[in-house]
Amino acid sequence: IADISAPDLETKIAIIEALGGARYKEAVPMIEKSAVNEDLLLRKVSLFALSEIGTPSSEAILMAAAQKANFGGSFQLIKNRR
């Protein structure tokens, strides 16, 4: 799968959710492109799909998204409380 040419955003999101749920590794390059899309919902669904599929090539994208969202900050707070 090089690209998903869905007629609308809702269809594209549904397809990406299904591919992530099926852990379809061949879709990773296309989903990685959607993971940096301007649309917030498409980006979130794509990141979740990539996390479900779990290929090493997606690690950098997932880490960057986690850092941007300050996801690691909550872990740092817990660590500092000990």
10-residue stretch averages of pLDDT, the chain, 82 residues long: 72 94 96 93 96 94 86 51 46
Q: What is the pTM of this model?
A: 0.79
What distance in Å separates the CA atoms of residue 10 and residue 55, rounded to the nearest whole number? 25
49, 20 Cβ separation under 8 angstroms: yes
Listed in sequence order, the residues at least 6 apart from 55 whose beta carbon sits closer than 8 Å to its beta carbon are: 25, 28
pLDDT attached to residue 58: 94
Helix intervals (H) in 1-82: 9-21, 28-34, 40-53, 59-68, 71-81
What distance in Å separates the CA atoms of residue 65 and residue 59, rounded to the nearest whole number? 10
What distance in Å separates the CA atoms of residue 13 and residue 23, rounded to the nearest whole number? 15
